[in-house]
Amino acid sequence: MSEQVTLTVDALGGDHAPDVVLDGVAAALSEDADLHILLCGPAESVEPFAAQHDRCKAVATTEFIAMDEHPANAVRKKKDSSIVVGCRLVKEGEAQGFFSAGSTGACLAAATLVMGRIKGVSRPALCTVIPSPAKPVVMCDVGANADCKPEYLVQFAQMATIYTEKIIGIENPKAVLLNIGEEDTKGSAFAQEAFSLLKEQVPNFVGNGEGSDILPGNYDIFVTDGFTGNVCLKTIEGTSKTLFKALKGIFYSNVFTKLGALAIKGGLKDLMAQVSPDTYGGAPLLGVKGACIVGHGSSNATAVKNGIHTTARIVRTKVSETIAETVACKSSSKQAEPGQGSADAGDR
């Protein structure tokens, strides 16, 4: 038996909400007997579902934050939205973590403003597992902080290291700075300064890594500012999608290729699953008090289920507590003004 965990889930998150969210919640509940869900959303969706599912309680909310709303403004105005209520219940101790496949920006803003930053963390950062046929690769930040100071990247590396050890299960993961050359002196002024700080303060930092090192899985963790990380993540998604689409075109070009495609269909399906963002189901915002995981807007029920499992694992392995104990205390960098940062991300 594992530890009892209560999570809030945004029933309205994602392109296919609430249906896929409810399916994902049902699957997660049936796979984890120690999981409890507070399901936030419109009464007509969440109440009948909760009535039919053990360990699920409905939390009726009346507002909705759309994908295209200004994140911080929406969070400030819509106090009874599923996202804000989900984060508030974590803040109030009713739950330990929050999952949503809704607006990334709004989730980051709500988690930062409502749950609050861990003391000593300059900027919470969005950390993602980039799915690769080689092995899982962690990148941080991928969009919470479009504007960074070099010193933020030290904490990004430290927080991503804790996540990689506890959730991905890689001991002493190798972290690199995402840069435009391997040599120590390469890169922009920002990258050069970040390099020096990382080298000085992060024991598992091994140097610079390049864009071409990501998908081959040459390193475990890529540390970067939220702008570069977000561009990079979306570039990988766009590249994979375009190549798979082109492959499909080849397969359907004539009867021989169709037969040929049959033979490799199984392997190809596995490969597509390997590069699908659904395996971990979402990206955690590291550095806030409590777990907050944001799923892809296009999440299906499996992705939602996996996202909920990942959120529960973050709670059970005490990722946030470890960040509070180690990163925040270790940090020598000047603390930022409260309530700043986050909410920069484009919708992933």
Interaction of residue 336 with a copy of itself, rule CB under 8 A: no
Give the per-residue contact string, 141-160, with a copy of itself (x = CB under 8 A; - = no).
--x--xx-------------
Interaction of residue 66 with a copy of itself, rule CB under 8 A: no
Sign of CA dihedral 188, 182, 280, 35: negative
Task: Rule CB under 8 A: choose which of 226, 282, 284, 307 binds a copy of itself.
Answer: 226
Q: Which amino acid is at 189?
A: A
Integer Cα distance of 309 and 129 in angstroms: 15
Task: Rule CB under 8 A: choose which of 4, 239, 335, 340 binds a copy of itself.
Answer: 239
Integer Cα distance of 325 and 322 in angstroms: 5
Interaction of residue 182 with a copy of itself, rule CB under 8 A: yes
Closest to a copy of itself by CB, 212 or 332: 212
3-state DSSP call for residue 202? coil
Q: Which amino acid is at 63?
A: E
DSSP 282: S
Integer Cα distance of 85 and 66 in angstroms: 15
The interaxial angle of helices 301-316 and 19-31, nearest 10 deg, is 50
Give the per-residue contact string, 184-223, with a copy of itself (x = CB under 8 A; - = no).
-xxxxxxx------------------xxxxxxx-------
Integer Cα distance of 144 and 123 in angstroms: 8
| In contact, 307 and 293? CB cutoff 8 Å | yes
Shortest CB 279 distance to a copy of itself, Å: 15
Interaction of residue 294 with a copy of itself, rule CB under 8 A: no
Residues that bind a copy of itself (CB under 8 A): 68, 70, 132-134, 143, 146-147, 178-183, 185-191, 210-216, 226-228, 230-243, 245-247, 249-251, 253, 256-257, 259-264, 267-268, 270-271, 274-275, 344-347
